[in-house]
Structure 1
Amino acid sequence: MTEFGDFISALGEFGPYQKLLVLLLSLPLLLNPFQMIGQVFMVVDEPHHCNTSWILAIGPNLTEEEQLNLTLPRDEDGAYEQCSMYSPVDWDLDSIMAYGLNDTEKCSSGWVYPSAQPPSLLTEFDLVCDRKDLNDISQSVYMVGLLLGAIFFGPLSDRIGRRPVFLMTIILQGLFGLATAFVPHFYMFMAFRCVVGAAVSGIQITELALATEWVGVNSRSKAVLISHCCLAIGQMILAGLSYGIRNWRLLEIAGSAPMLALFFYIWVLPESPRWLVTKGKIEEAKKVLQKAASVNKCTIPPGLLEQLKPEKKTKSGSFLDLFRKKPLWKVTLIMSCTWFADSIVYYGLSLSVTNFGLNIYLMQLIFGVVELPARFACMFLLQWLGRKKTQAILLLLSGLMCLIITGIPEDQPIVTTVLGIIGKFTATASFSTSYVYSAELFPTVVRQTGVGLCSTSARIAGIMAPLIRLLEQYHRAIPMAIFGSPPVVVGLLCFLLPETCGVDLADDTGATTPEVSSRRLDSLSEKETTEDGVHLEKDVYRCSESK
């Protein structure tokens, strides 16, 4: 069977058709940051105190200041306690003013928010005091959705195709994201967020497969990282919108409704021809390849198209295939750990945006700006250093930044912010590298299953990240120490992985050993030299040196 990479070479490694496809795949990623970290801006801390209107039945003419003085205890700094009040009594007002109240209890009639800000999740659902942890728990519920999406949509994409799963998840994210803006209860909010998380996960892992399977060897990282740049742009847009739209329901609508405008993808989004070939759907694969060739203004030789047939029917891959052969199960285990480390440091830093001592909207804008060069830098790092070294170095650096932050005094917000920005830069670049690396390490028949498993590992870390932040009540350094330790350990494990830079994608599980990959790299270099000259040979050789 002719290598599928030959058809991509004839089509054009990264022609106008592939560029348009990457643009279409990137648009949904502009909105994903709204779902991933938008809740941080919906639960901005506000001054609050217990509702003590009970005393107004006794003294309706009391001023607000008199009411608070009589019914609320004060803390060590002289401010009103936010989570406790004096227990109501049946005395008359003169007795209360003469003797005062002594017994305290938790807020029993709700809370009052004097600042009169637009409705937020915190004020509308009273996420304060004993209910404060519900915010972090709801973030974990969203991460559970990401986990479920990885478990379900990854294997489903390998079975029924990349295109139907991508379309399905776009519609799910748009509909349930919009419905979230109208929920009457916080527990319903969490349930809808779980579904949105599953859709976001499905979009990201399916976008990865389509972006890598449609382009040539030397353009894979470029295709994936260009689409990931939209995540960075989306974070910058989030900072601006969240600053201008303080009503959490309106912000949720602004971040969800545009997804429904992508309904036209039903008519324009193609299926992966590589996946079609592995399923024996040769005629469909020929049609999409010929359509792409016409857009790229080139012609695929008829003789080459006739060779587009599998030597034998390729069976669908399964989860167990990832652990049946040593090279593949080693890759599966290490890459699962890599995604776990990526996720825990990335979300750990992203969700800690309120803890760096600066304005949270400014910090979010900076974090978004930092992500853009981080993803662009990956394009060059992956080519010059190769996948393995880039992945290992970036993980080590992101972990070290978190560990250093644990030793910085609390009165040094600028230093903490600088270290946090460096950590976010390296964590972002590491996460993007993992997407590219995973897509190249797993063969086509189990690519989405493998990436889905890795994504599952990342989502477990994502579930843990908001809960780990709760440990700061015992010591502020504990969360950052936990966020920083796994990346350092896993970064060292990454040196055990094979290099994939310049190697064509494997289709079957029998072509996953480093030796097979090396032979493919040599033949690719020889062929491309005759067609495109010395430049492409140098690119491939540079990657091979880093192996």
Structure 2
Amino acid sequence: MSGVGEILKAVGDFGPFQKRLVLLTLFPCLSVAFHQFCQLFMVSNVPHYCDTSWILAVCPNLTEEEQLNLTLPRDADGEYVRCSMYSPVDWDLDSIVVYGLNTTEKCRSGWVYPSAPPPSLLTEFDLVCDRKDLNDISQSIYMVGMLLGSIIFGPLSDRIGRRPVILISIFLQGLFGVGIAFVPHFYVYMAFRCVVGASVSGITMTILALATEWVGVSSRPKAVLTSHCCFAIGQMLLAGLSYGIRNWRLLEIAGSAPIFAFFFCVRVLPESARWLVTKGRLEEAKKILQKAASINKSTIPPGLLEQLKPEKQTKSGSTLDLFGKKHLRKVTLIMSCAWFVNSLVYYGLSLNVTSFGLDIYLTQLAFGAVEIPARLGCIVMLQWFGRKKTQSVLLLLSGLVCLIITGIPEDQPVVTTVLAVIGKFTASASFSTSYVYSAELFPTVVRQTGVGLCSMASRVAAIMAPLIRLLGQYHQAIPMAIYGSAPVVGGLLCVLLPETRGTELVWENTNSSSENGHVKGKDGGQDETKTTYF
């Protein structure tokens, strides 16, 4: 009996059909990068103070400077206090001038933005003073959407197919992305962002699954690495787009609407032949395999398609199996911690792009550009130094960089930004290492479950990263200290893991083989020893 893997070898591992598929999936990666970080450029820090127009009813002829002098208190530096005002009184102007106002209160009538900045989330929804925390909370709500998307769209793609889930996710992203530009309230904005976050998870997970199931094992690293680099390019494009479009609503439309162009290529997007076979839809699978062979200018041997039968699915392990044996329990806990702290430092640095002191557009451009050599260099580091050393050292470096940043004075923005770029480099390379290392550490029967659990830990950290920034109101060094200390601990824990470079992947966890780190395929299958991918 022939399997779909054998037929795919005859079709070609990475021919024109697969290359076209990979190129087709790159466009959504640009959109994903936009939605991931666009809010950073929609909440610009602008001067503001309480609206004290009540005094104009007493004397309409006051100049702006006179109005502010009479109604706003000053801080120790002589600047107007931004979040409090003198309480209104029923006095005439002469009494106010003679006796002055002494009782202060929070802004009761909103805020004024004297510099007349372009429309932003901050100015339209007054994300200042007591409402400034809503900015970071909304970032966490977006990450919650990503977690929900991974929970919803993962099983859905196994039920209805990869292609429909990709199209549904792209439609939701375009619809709610454009819809964000027309929201009347900030809470509606957060709800729409949550849906966009869910669609981002649906796109990234399902595109990865589709590419993995079509591309041969030897070419999977190239395919997935290409998408990672495209995500980095998307971050660079975001810097240019946000620099040219300062109105947040127009920026949201410009970043969301182009995704609808993907539907013009909908006929080119194939379904996964492997998924079709597992569902017993053999005729559809045969047609698409023949089409792929035709595009690749290859020939499927006569009779090979006729031997195609529904593949017998191996029973996968459960989450409980990950904690049933000592070695697997150690691997699961340490790798989940590694993914958690890696995500924490990655998003901690990425979401602090506005706090490093230099121009945020140049900083974002550098953050995107540095990810490309980080992803590419990861391959070299894995081959030279192995998985364990690479994972440990990269996590330690990313953490140490953040800890050093906490000691840099505020008047040294260049030094802070350079260190942040180095931290982003090590965090990005560490993320790619985690994908490879996790796939090699977990046995086949629980590999998807194990990697899925690690990914969920990563999502939880992404939710927490914006909330940790709120601790900066107590001391500005606290968030960066947390972002730095967590990966240091994770890097030290990774020293306890076995090395997997040059070893075969394990099918089932056996104490004799896995405890010392020499994992070997039980059935000796050739495909099984090559399924490592980024």
TM-score (normalised: structure 1): 0.87
Residue of structure 1 equivalent to 2:273: 273
Residue of structure 1 equivalent to 2:115: 115
Equivalences for residues 237-256 of structure 1 within 5 A: 237-256=237-256
Residue of structure 2 equivalent to 1:213: 213
Q: 1:507-536 CA distances to partner (integer Å, 9 max, x unpaired)?
A: x999x97744386477889xxxxxxxxxxx
How many Å separate the matches in 2 of 1:307 and 1:217?
Answer: 23
Residue of structure 2 equivalent to 1:297: 297
Answer 1 or 2: which has greater helix percent.
1
Residue of structure 1 equivalent to 2:342: 342
How many Å separate the matches in 2 of 1:7 and 1:382?
Answer: 31
Report the alpha carbon displacement of residue 435 of structure 1 after superposing the two structures with TM.
Answer: 4.0
Q: Give the secondary-structure state (helix, strand or coil) at the position aligned to 2:266.
A: helix
Equivalences for residues 152-231 of structure 1 within 5 A: 152-231=152-231
Report the alpha carbon displacement of residue 230 of structure 1 after superposing the two structures with TM.
Answer: 1.2
Bigger mean CA offset, 211-220 vs 65-74: 211-220
Residue of structure 1 equivalent to 2:257: 257
Equivalences for residues 33-72 of structure 1 within 5 A: 33-72=33-72
Q: Give the secondary-structure state (helix, strand or coil) at the position aligned to 1:85.
A: strand
AA in 2 matched with 1:137: I
AA in 1 matched with 2:406: T
Equivalences for residues 122-521 of structure 1 within 5 A: 122-309=122-309, 312-314=312-314, 332-385=332-385, 387-438=387-438, 451-494=451-494, 496=497, 499=500, 515-517=519-521, 520=524
Report the alpha carbon displacement of residue 444 of structure 1 after superposing the two structures with TM.
Answer: 8.5
Task: Report if the CA contact (8 A) 2:4-2:273 is conserved.
Answer: no
How many Å separate the matches in 2 of 1:139 and 1:327?
Answer: 36
AA in 1 matched with 2:115: S
How many Å separate the matches in 2 of 1:504 and 1:417?
Answer: 40
State the identity as a percent: 73
- Give structure 1 stretches of 5+ with no counterpart: 526-539
Residue of structure 2 equivalent to 1:89: 89
AA in 1 matched with 2:396: L
Task: Report if the CA contact (8 A) 2:278-2:311 is conserved.
Answer: no
- Give structure 2 stretches of 5+ with no counterpart: none
Report the alpha carbon displacement of residue 447 of structure 1 after superposing the two structures with TM.
Answer: 6.8
Cα distance change on mapping 1:175 and 1:386 into 2, 3 Å: farther
How many Å separate the matches in 2 of 1:379 and 1:432?
Answer: 9
Report the alpha carbon displacement of residue 438 of structure 1 after superposing the two structures with TM.
Answer: 5.0
How many Å separate the matches in 1 of 2:202 and 2:486?
Answer: 25
Residue of structure 2 equivalent to 1:29: 29
Q: 1:338-374 CA distances to partner (integer Å, 9 max, x unpaired)?
A: 3212211110000111121111111111111111222
AA in 2 matched with 1:107: C
Residue of structure 1 equivalent to 2:79: 79
Bigger mean CA offset, 354-363 vs 187-196: 354-363
How many Å separate the matches in 2 of 1:334 and 1:207?
Answer: 28
Task: Report if the CA contact (8 A) 1:342-1:430 is conserved.
Answer: yes
Q: Give the secondary-structure state (helix, strand or coil) at the position aligned to 1:67.
A: helix
Task: Report if the CA contact (8 A) 2:349-2:420 is conserved.
Answer: yes
How many Å separate the matches in 2 of 1:501 and 1:284?
Answer: 38
AA in 2 matched with 1:418: V
AA in 1 matched with 2:94: D
TM-score (normalised: structure 2): 0.89
How many Å separate the matches in 2 of 1:515 and 1:2?
Answer: 28
AA in 1 matched with 2:521: S
Task: Report if the CA contact (8 A) 1:354-1:360 is conserved.
Answer: yes
How many Å separate the matches in 1 of 2:270 and 2:389?
Answer: 34
Report the alpha carbon displacement of residue 446 of structure 1 after superposing the two structures with TM.
Answer: 7.3
Tell me the matched-pair count: 525
How many Å separate the matches in 1 of 2:4 and 2:51?
Answer: 69
Task: Report if the CA contact (8 A) 2:46-2:113 is conserved.
Answer: yes
How many Å separate the matches in 2 of 1:442 and 1:310?
Answer: 26
How many Å separate the matches in 2 of 1:229 and 1:430?
Answer: 15
How many Å separate the matches in 2 of 1:488 and 1:445?
Answer: 31
Bigger mean CA offset, 122-131 vs 317-326: 317-326
Cα distance change on mapping 1:524 and 1:91 into 2, 3 Å: closer
